[in-house]
């Protein structure tokens, strides 16, 4: 079990280091060199200090020469290691940033279904929580480089301490205990005793780490609640309702009750942890005591010089300190790699959507034939079918309206068409071939979609229309024109370079209607043969709605288009209507034909038309 | 905005800290004492060892000296660590129980028109960061600075005196080191300050891009529009700007570090020269030599700490002051002149007299000299294009905003005569953006923890939500969302709208305001809610806003709003007959439905 754990530890560390190394090959060498210099630095004073003292006690000849060497070395190592530390830090931060970019890219390209799968995204959440509590990839590399530094310190210190093992010429009249002190065995015994203290601390350190882990685990739930309370208090949208409905009393009562337990948890753990921490510090002092006693006795017996005393005490203290800190660091590195390996695992998840290889035939006449053949679908972990036995053909080059009550399966229908999900049963065919067989990217290039919950990002307006950092401004203006947004954008000072929303400097806020028009412009820029608009006028006033309605024909000329809406009026300008209910298509036909039937369609129509 | 100095803010915090825990000054002093004693002891220890060895006092003497000093050292170490932890816990508790709690209470109770505008939100988010994020300095940083600052100041006096006793020129070198360090640190800090906004923006952009890329709600658009390259390019652009910034910072830092190391070398050469000659002249022995070097090292460290803490605190204060400014802003909601909600006749007459309201920094007023009277029990439909001022008018009527000029009267009593909380009792609202708390359904309807379950069920029933709630295993005690309880449920858009309607019904306020309450509903659900609204508003004075013009027919009167003014008012039929803006709007929307009755089914553009 223990070896297995150790193997896992090394494997994870290796994976993480290779993740870092792939992104930034200079980061790890920089950390190595820095550790080398940093650990050497304190030994300059330890070595030279002793020799200076001895030289002084011996009459002071050549002391200033030694001082000169020491100061010069101090300067070079001290200055060099600190300047290097900062560039090493920069390297490590860069490695971390590039790794985050890799994670972002993975999120952006992995299967949509995976993106919506809790267990997969939980990896990121866990890694994120770990990063908050224990540090990111940067601190991981940092810890490792510190660990290496402590290892080197141990080596340097052992080299210095090895001098103690050389027996001296026994002074005249040496008694028994002097001879005993002079033997290498005595030195070994003293060294073992001195190192016993930091090793005795190992269980204490373990305990401290366990307490930290436990606290982290037990506070997850409370942390979540706390941030919920905080976001409630600071959310001005909720603020309206909280004030007018006088809900602050209830809020504070709940918060106060939660607060007591939450803070007590931290207090309890911190008290326990602080006692352990104090104990560790005191136990470690035993090393210094033993060093002084042993080395002092040796000096008193005349076996070593007085200068050697300060040097050996310095070396043994440094040795024990390095061992102690290394023990603590290993614990931290172990915690860090446990969280961070979620990243490497996350990056290694394969995407299934990319299995298709067929290219999509490029056609100028838009002759793409899309067909649902007995398609059924249910969302992962759901028992209920969202679509059941749907068979239909999208009217090529014509306008299709999709209507039905909330929850009838309209949006799911679109999601399947967009390959965001694959059918549970049945198949969707493009020109007679299952869409799963096509290259994913090529298939998606056939579709321009404005989702009901479309997203615009806080970046430059022109880039947002083109979904790319470089774009053809002339075409962007054309699309804005078609979507009815040109005038508004022309009035903006920076035109296409205007930032959107508050994330951008001087970013403009868009009203719901303007956002919808921009999303439509984006769809137009893509210029795909199939255009899908899902509830595009929900937030619009009648005039803007009318604009969209009247432009729809122009926007989709020669294309296959799908228009989903609760506004039944939209069915008037479409050629075919599909009526969804309970996951199936219950009616299909032209508006006039459907209205003539006594069915769901005429009821939906009447519900709205009665007012006009 | 009034700004406070670092000292003023430290005192402001300390006053509250002492009030929070009387023992704080005691802990503080003890911690300073232990931390000052430790470097002294570590300088003394090797010196005492050397003394015991060179002055010849025998083994017993040596053992006694070492063991005694070590015991003292161990005591101080334990005290230091224990106090350190104790103080950290105290600080964290204070930050949460005082700093955070005060902030949350403030945001929950402050006047809405101070909270909602972008400026208020910005200040709040800065203040929140100061109370919530110890890494950003904030309350923790300001309190953390107190101990090292006092200690290093005291230590400088004590150890400085010892250094002067050795050679005053050493102080000169140290002063030179400090001055040069301060100058070069300032260069670094200037650079940081100059680039602060840029760098903050840089991190904001990074956080934004990262958070957007793993958010499933963006996943559909990202994939359909193949945005990954755009995102990654943008992210790398952000990083590249940051790397250039970091290189600039490190270059300046290297200068400061080199100057530091140079002065340290100068200090050492001077100190050793003085000490060696003094030793050779017999004025000091080996023990004194070792001890003085230790003291000098401590003095240098204290000096460094002092300048660093001062520097940090000055820097942190800029951020922390946001917290204090936020907390001290005058934001009490209007307290009125004792008018009582209970004495308002139901349903009330509501009158707006020449009301004007502008948003800060807006060029034109959102509501412009508007006068309007709602007779008791009258229902009006508020109609207009996006941006006509409908939502602002609603905020004025609900009492969340106060008119800039003119006044609003309810049952003849000016709204400003009511305490704000008292006035809120008169208003029931259903907003377009339904906001529910992550508490139980019952609590959301009643707005409190103790409520009459029968009445809540009745309200749910009237809003058409009884069945759906009944189907939940925990009924009224079901939590909304999983934010608080794992078994919480997510309601659909339509259900949320009904729940928020039930809340208004439970409150049973005499003035009911419905702002676009059916936006996301299918036609059947929409028609059903219209009927319910019409029924429930019967004995109330009401305002109804909707883009679906036909639905306003149950209102007594239509009020057409344009650029903050009323341009048309009358019944639906009257306005249609008049052929003005409302009629045009209605025509636009109804054409698709009405044309149906024509034979050809064509729609002319109007």
pLDDT at res. A502: 67
Determine the residue of chain B that is closest to A253 in CA distance: B449
Determine the residue of chain B that is closest to A116 in CA distance: B216
CB contact under 8 A, B62 and A296: yes
**Distance separating alpha carbons of residues B175 and A64, to the nearest angstrom:** 24
**Distance separating alpha carbons of residues A185 and A187, to the nearest angstrom:** 5
- B499: Cβ contacts below 8 Å, ≥ 6 apart: B434, B436, B441, B444, B445, B460, B463, B465, B491
A459: chain B residues, CB-CB within 8 Å: 230, 234
End-to-end distance of chain A based on CA atoms, in angstroms? 76
**Distance separating alpha carbons of residues A377 and A384, to the nearest angstrom:** 9
Q: Which residues pair with B355 in a beta bridge?
A: B370
For chain A, list residues with pLDDT below 50.
Answer: none
pLDDT at res. A338: 85
pLDDT at res. A503: 66
Residue A325: half-sphere exposure toward Cβ, Cα within 13 Å: 19
Chain-centre distance for alpha carbon A506: 28
**Distance separating alpha carbons of residues B290 and A139, to the nearest angstrom:** 38
Tokens coding B553: 């027919």
CB contact under 8 A, A234 and B107: yes
Residue A533: half-sphere exposure toward Cβ, Cα within 13 Å: 34
Q: Which bin fits A594, alpha (ψ -120 to 50), beta or left (φ > 0)?
A: alpha
For B73-103, write each residue's pLDDT tens digit. 999 998 898 888 888 889 988 998 899 999 9
Chain-centre distance for alpha carbon B200: 16
Does the ipTM exceed 0.85? no
Instruction: Measure in Å the smallest separation between the Cα of A367 and chain B Cα atoms.
Output: 20
A469: chain B residues, CB-CB within 8 Å: 229-230, 233-234, 237
For B309-335, write each residue's pLDDT tens digit. 988 898 889 889 999 999 998 888 888
Helix (H, G, I), strand (E, B) or coil at A575: coil
B258: chain A residues, CB-CB within 8 Å: 79, 83
Chain-centre distance for alpha carbon B73: 44
Give A438's DSSP letter: B
**Distance separating alpha carbons of residues B291 and B331, to the nearest angstrom:** 59
Determine the residue of chain A that is closest to B55 in CA distance: A300
pLDDT at res. B603: 43
For A346-379, write each residue's pLDDT tens digit. 888 888 777 777 888 777 777 788 999 999 999 8
- B523: Cβ contacts below 8 Å, ≥ 6 apart: A566, A568, A604, A605, A607, A608
Which candidate, A433, A287, A440, places its Cα nearest to that of A368? A433
Tokens coding A30: 């920089």
Chain-centre distance for alpha carbon B439: 22
Tokens coding B581: 């803006």
Q: Are A595 and A605 in contact (CB under 8 A)?
A: yes
CB contact under 8 A, A612 and B52: no
For B577-606, write each residue's pLDDT tens digit. 999 999 988 888 887 777 544 444 444 333
Q: Are A276 and A208 in contact (CB under 8 A)?
A: yes
- A227: Cβ contacts below 8 Å, ≥ 6 apart: none
- B359: Cβ contacts below 8 Å, ≥ 6 apart: B117, B366, B392
Tokens coding B175: 């002063």
**Distance separating alpha carbons of residues B302 and B273, to the nearest angstrom:** 23
Within A386-527, residue ranges assigned H as helices are 410-417, 440-444, 461-466, 473-483, 486-490, 512-526
pLDDT at res. A173: 63
B126: chain A residues, CB-CB within 8 Å: none
Which residue from A74, A455, A609 is facing B596, i.e. has the nearest CB?
A609
CB contact under 8 A, B483 and A285: no
Cα distances from B281 to residues B55, B274, B354, B488, in angstroms, run 17, 11, 96, 84
pLDDT at res. A275: 83
Mean pLDDT check: name the lowest of A420-429, B155-164, B351-360: B155-164
**Distance separating alpha carbons of residues A293 and A190, to the nearest angstrom:** 9
CB contact under 8 A, A60 and B279: yes
B54: chain A residues, CB-CB within 8 Å: 57, 306
Which residue from B78, B220, B221 is facing A282, i.e. has the nearest CB?
B78
pLDDT at res. B597: 47
CB contact under 8 A, A274 and B231: no
B135: exposed, middle or buried (Cβ count in 10 Å: 0-12, 13-18, 19+): exposed
For A434-460, write each residue's pLDDT tens digit. 999 999 888 999 999 998 888 899 889
- A411: Cβ contacts below 8 Å, ≥ 6 apart: A452, A534, A564
Mean pLDDT check: name the lowest of A466-480, B215-229, B345-359: B215-229
- A-interface mutation test, from B361, B497, B592, most A Cβ less than 10 A away: B592
Q: What angle do CA B273, B274, B278 make, to 5 degrees?
A: 115
pLDDT at res. B595: 57
Which residue from A242, A420, A512 is facing B108, i.e. has the nearest CB?
A242
Tokens coding A391: 């068979």
- B-interface mutation test, from A223, A232, A243, A447, most B Cβ less than 10 A away: A243
**Distance separating alpha carbons of residues B463 and B108, to the nearest angstrom:** 28
pLDDT at res. B519: 64
- B268: Cβ contacts below 8 Å, ≥ 6 apart: A67, A70, A71, A74
**Distance separating alpha carbons of residues B232 and A108, to the nearest angstrom:** 9
- Global pTM value: 0.79
Which residue from A406, A546, A611 is facing B492, i.e. has the nearest CB?
A406
pLDDT at res. A344: 87
Q: State the DSSP H helix or E strand holding residue A603, giving kind and residue range, or none if neither.
A: helix A600-609
- A-interface mutation test, from B52, B221, B477, B582, most A Cβ less than 10 A away: B221
Within B281-379, residue ranges assigned H as helices are 286-328
The angle that helices A236-244 and A248-300 make with each other, rounded to 10 degrees, is 130
Instruction: Measure in Å the smallest separation between the Cα of B226 and chain A Cα atoms.
Output: 7
Mean pLDDT value across chain B? 87
Q: What percent of chain B has pLDDT over 90?
A: 41
Tokens coding A37: 């210099």
pLDDT at res. A149: 94
Q: Are strands A576-581 and A584-589 parallel, antiparallel or unpaired?
A: antiparallel
Q: Are B294 and B44 in contact (CB under 8 A)?
A: yes
Q: What percent of chain A has pLDDT over 90?
A: 32
Model confidence at B170, pLDDT cuts 50, 70, 90, reads confident
Q: Is the dihedral of CA A496, A498, A502, A503 positive or negative?
A: positive
Q: Are A602 and A594 in contact (CB under 8 A)?
A: yes
pLDDT at res. A214: 86
Q: Are A309 and A299 in contact (CB under 8 A)?
A: yes
pLDDT at res. A516: 86
For A192-236, write each residue's pLDDT tens digit. 988 888 888 888 888 887 888 788 788 878 888 888 898 888 888
Q: Are A531 and A462 in contact (CB under 8 A)?
A: no
The average pLDDT across B473-496 equals 87
Chain-centre distance for alpha carbon B377: 41
Determine the residue of chain B that is closest to A230 in CA distance: B104
Which residue from A93, A235, A246 is facing B447, i.e. has the nearest CB?
A246
Number of helices (H), then strands (E), belonging to chain B: the values are: 21, 10
For B265-296, write each residue's pLDDT tens digit. 888 888 888 889 888 888 888 888 888 888 88
B66: chain A residues, CB-CB within 8 Å: 289, 292-293, 296
Cα distances from A556 to residues A369, A444, A524, B91, B454, in angstroms, run 16, 18, 9, 63, 54
Size of interface A-B (CB pairs under 8 A): 416
Give B509's DSSP letter: -
**Distance separating alpha carbons of residues A394 and A371, to the nearest angstrom:** 6
Instruction: Measure in Å the smallest separation between the Cα of B90 and chain A Cα atoms.
Output: 9
């Amino acid at each position: 079990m223990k070896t297995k754990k150790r193997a896992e530890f090394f494997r994870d560390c290796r994976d993480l280091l290779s993740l870092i190394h792939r992104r930034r090959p200079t980061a790890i060498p920089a950390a190595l060199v820095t550790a080398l210099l940093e650990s050497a630095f304190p030994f300059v004073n330890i070595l030279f200090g002793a020799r200076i003292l001895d030289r002084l006690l011996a009459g002071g000849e050549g002391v200033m020469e030694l001082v000169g060497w020491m100061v010069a070395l101090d300067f070079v190592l001290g200055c060099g290691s600190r300047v290097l530390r900062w560039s090493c830090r920069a390297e490590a931060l860069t490695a971390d940033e590039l790794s985050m970019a890799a994670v972002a890219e993975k999120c952006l390209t992995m299967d949509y279904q995976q993106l919506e799968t809790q267990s997969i995204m939980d990896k990121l959440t866990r890694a994120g929580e770990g990063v908050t509590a224990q540090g990111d990839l940067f601190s991981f590399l940092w810890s490792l480089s510190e660990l290496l530094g402590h290892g080197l310190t141990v080596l340097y210190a052992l080299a210095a301490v090895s001098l103690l093992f050389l027996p001296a010429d026994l002074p005249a009249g040496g008694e028994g205990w002097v001879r005993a002190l002079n033997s290498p065995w005595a030195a070994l015994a003293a060294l073992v005793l001195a190192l016993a203290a930091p090793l005795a601390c190992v269980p204490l350190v373990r305990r401290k780490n366990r307490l930290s882990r436990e606290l982290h685990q037990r506070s997850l739930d409370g942390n979540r609640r706390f941030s919920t309370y905080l976001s409630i208090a600071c959310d001005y949208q909720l603020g309206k309702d909280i004030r007018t409905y006088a809900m602050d009393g209830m809020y504070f009562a709940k918060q106060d009750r939660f607060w007591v337990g939450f803070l007590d948890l931290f207090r309890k753990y911190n008290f326990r942890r602080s006692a352990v921490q104090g104990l560790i510090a005191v136990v470690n002092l035993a090393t210094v005591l033993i060093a002084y006693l042993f080395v002092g006795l040796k000096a008193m017996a005349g076996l070593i010089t007085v200068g050697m005393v300060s040097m050996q005490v310095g070396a043994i203290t440094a040795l024990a300190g390095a061992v102690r800190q290394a023990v603590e660091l290993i614990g931290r590195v172990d915690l860090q790699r446990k969280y961070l390996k979620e990243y490497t695992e996350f990056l290694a998840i394969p995407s299934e959507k990319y299995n298709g290889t067929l290219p999509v035939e490029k056609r100028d006449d838009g002759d793409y034939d899309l067909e649902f053949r007995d398609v059924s679908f249910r969302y992962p972990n759901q028992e209920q079918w969202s679509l059941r036995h749907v068979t239909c053909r999208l009217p090529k080059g014509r306008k299709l309206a999709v209507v039905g009550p909330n929850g009838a399966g309209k949006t799911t229908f679109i999601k399947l068409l967009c390959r965001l999900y694959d059918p549970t049963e049945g198949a969707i065919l493009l020109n007679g071939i299952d869409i799963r067989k096509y290259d994913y990217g090529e298939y998606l290039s056939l579709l321009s979609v404005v989702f009901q919950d479309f997203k615009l990002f806080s970046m430059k307006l022109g880039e947002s229309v083109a979904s790319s950092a470089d774009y053809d401004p002339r075409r962007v203006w054309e699309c804005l024109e078609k979507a009815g947004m040109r005038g508004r954008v022309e009035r903006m000072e920076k035109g296409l370079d205007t930032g959107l929303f508050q994330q951008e400097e001087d970013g403009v806020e868009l009203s719901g209607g303007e956002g919808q028009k921009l999303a439509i412009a984006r769809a137009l820029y893509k210029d795909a043969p199939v255009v899908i608009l899902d509830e595009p006028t929900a937030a619009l006033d009648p005039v803007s709605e009318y604009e969209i309605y009247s432009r729809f024909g122009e926007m989709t000329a020669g294309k296959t288009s799908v228009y989903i809406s609760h506004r039944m009026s939209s069915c008037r300008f479409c050629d075919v209507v599909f009526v969804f209910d309970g996951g199936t298509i219950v009616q299909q036909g032209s508006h006039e034909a459907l209205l003539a039937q006594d069915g769901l369609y005429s009821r939906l129509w009447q519900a709205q038309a009665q007012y006009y | 905005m009034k700004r406070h100095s670092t000292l003023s803010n430290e005192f402001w915090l300390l006053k509250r800290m002492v009030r929070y825990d009387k023992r704080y000054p005691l802990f503080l002093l003890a911690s300073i004492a232990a931390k000052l004693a430790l470097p002294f002891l570590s300088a003394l220890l090797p010196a005492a060892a050397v003394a015991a060895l060179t002055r010849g006092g025998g083994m017993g003497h040596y053992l006694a000296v070492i063991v005694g000093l070590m015991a003292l050292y161990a005591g101080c170490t334990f005290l230091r660590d224990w106090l350190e932890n104790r103080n950290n816990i105290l600080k964290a508790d204070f930050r949460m129980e005082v700093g955070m709690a005060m902030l949350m209470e403030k945001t929950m109770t402050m006047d809405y028109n101070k909270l909602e505008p972008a400026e208020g939100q910005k200040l709040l988010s800065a203040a929140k960061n100061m109370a919530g994020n110890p890494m950003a300095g904030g309350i923790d940083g300001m309190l953390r600075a107190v101990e090292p600052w006092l200690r290093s100041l005291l230590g400088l006096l004590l150890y400085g005196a010892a250094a002067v006793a050795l050679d005053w020129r050493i102080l000169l070198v140290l002063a030179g080191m400090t001055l040069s360090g301060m100058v070069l640190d300032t260069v670094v800090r200037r650079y940081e300050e100059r680039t602060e906004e840029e760098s903050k923006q840089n991190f904001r952009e990074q956080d934004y891009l990262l958070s957007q890329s793993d958010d499933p709600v963006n996943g559909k658009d990202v994939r359909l529009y193949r945005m990954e390259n755009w995102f990654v390019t943008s992210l790398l652009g952000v990083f590249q700007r940051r790397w250039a910034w970091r290189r600039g910072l490190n270059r300046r830092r290297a200068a400061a570090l080199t100057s530091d190391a140079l002065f340290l070398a100068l200090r050492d050469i001077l100190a050793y020269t003085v000490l060696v000659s003094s030793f050779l002249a017999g004025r000091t022995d080996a023990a004194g030599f070792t001890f003085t070097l230790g003291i000098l090292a401590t003095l240098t460290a204290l000096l460094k700490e002092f300048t660093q803490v001062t520097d940090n605190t000055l820097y942190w204060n800029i951020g922390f002051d946001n917290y204090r400014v936020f907390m001290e802003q005058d934001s009490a909601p209007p307290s009125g002149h004792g008018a009582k909600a209970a004495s308002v006749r139901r349903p009330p007459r509501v009158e707006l007299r020449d009301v004007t309201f502008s948003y800060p920094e807006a060029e034109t007023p959102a509501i412009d000299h508007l006068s309007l009277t709602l007779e008791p029990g009258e229902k009006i439909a508020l109609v207009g294009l996006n941006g006509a001022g409908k939502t602002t008018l609603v905020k004025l009527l609900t009492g969340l905003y106060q008119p800039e000029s003119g006044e609003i009267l309810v049952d003849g009593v000016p709204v400003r005569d009511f305490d704000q909380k008292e006035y809120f009792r008169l208003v029931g609202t259903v907003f377009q953006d339904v906001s529910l708390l992550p508490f139980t359904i019952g609590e959301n309807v009643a707005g409190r923890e103790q409520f009459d379950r029968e009445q809540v069920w009745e309200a749910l029933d009237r809003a058409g939500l009884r069945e759906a709630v009944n189907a939940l295993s925990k009924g009224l005690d079901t939590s909304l969302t999983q934010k608080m309880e794992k078994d919480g449920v997510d309601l659909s858009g339509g259900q949320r709208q009904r729940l928020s309607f039930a809340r208004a019904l439970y409150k049973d306020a005499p003035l009911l305001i419905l702002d676009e309450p059916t936006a996301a509903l299918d036609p059947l659900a929409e028609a059903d809610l219209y009927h319910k609204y019409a029924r429930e508003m019967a004995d109330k004075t009401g305002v109804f806003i909707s883009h679906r013009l036909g639905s306003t027919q149950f209102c007594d009167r239509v009020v057409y709003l344009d650029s903050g003014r009323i341009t048309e008012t009358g019944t639906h039929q009257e306005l249609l007959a008049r052929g003005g803006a409302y009629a045009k709007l209605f025509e636009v929307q109804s054409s698709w439905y009405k044309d149906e009755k024509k034979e050809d089914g064509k729609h002319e553009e109007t």
